[in-house]
Structure 1
Amino acid sequence: MTSPTIDIYTKFACPFCVRAKQLLDAKGAAYSEHDITMGGPRREEMMQRAPTARTVPQIFIGKVHVGGYDDLAALDRAGKLDPLLAGNAGA
């Protein structure tokens, strides 16, 4: 099974964004970071993908909207992040 695409929407100097990227880095997960500090089309893209999201980071693993750093860390603590990163969306 191939690894899913990971997108993370961030802003400059966001400590939760840094923590999320550190956790993904520790897992060896490749991700695409989209800086929405100044708004623009990437912010609009994030809002289309997660209409109720108002904070960063917003993390998407494959088709799954994980949420923010706290959500990502909770998945990891529950043992569900590794299967999700491996492409098992039913994690």
Structure 2
Amino acid sequence: MAHVKIYSSDYCPYCHRAKALLRARGVTEWEEVNVDGRPDVRQAMAQLVGRTSVPQIFIDGQHIGGCDDLHALDARGGLEPLLRGQR
């Protein structure tokens, strides 16, 4: 299974929705970076991806984007191959 990293917030419904989709696709573990009360971490994320909103999702180091981007990738059939390590 691929390495998944998620920048998230405990209070973000989009974060919960993205994690629910990942669980539905068989992902049971991911690296989570919580930005709540951590402006330095959110700023580092923004410098990395050019966005300040969460979630920001990476699969094997590839920036997928936010929740809508993850769902669009899944709808195109591209999420499961990435999760299996196929590019």
Shorter-chain TM-score tier: 0.7 to 0.9
Quote the offset at 1:48 in angstroms. Answer: 4.1
- For 1:20-31, list aligned pairs within 5 A: 20-29=18-27, 30-31=29-30
Quote the offset at 1:63 in angstroms. Answer: 2.0
> How many percent identity over aligned positions?
43
Give the whole-Å Cα distance in 2 for the aligned partners of 1:74 and 1:67.
10
Corresponding residue for residue 52 of structure 2: 54
Give the whole-Å Cα distance in 2 for the aligned partners of 1:66 and 1:31.
14
Distance change >3 Å, CA 45–CA 62, structure 1 → 2: farther
Quote the offset at 1:43 in angstroms. Answer: 2.8
- For 1:1-91, list aligned pairs within 5 A: 3-29=1-27, 30-39=29-38, 42-50=41-49, 52-89=50-87
Counterpart code for 1:34: V
TM-score (norm 1): 0.84
Task: Return the structure number with greater helix share.
Answer: 2
How large is the Cα RMSD of the aligned pairs? 1.5
Structure 1 runs of 4+ aligned residues shifted over 6 Å read none
Give the whole-Å Cα distance in 1 for the aligned partners of 2:53 and 2:45.
10
- Size of the aligned set, in residue pairs, is 86
Unaligned runs of 5+ in 2: none
Quote the offset at 1:27 in angstroms. Answer: 1.0
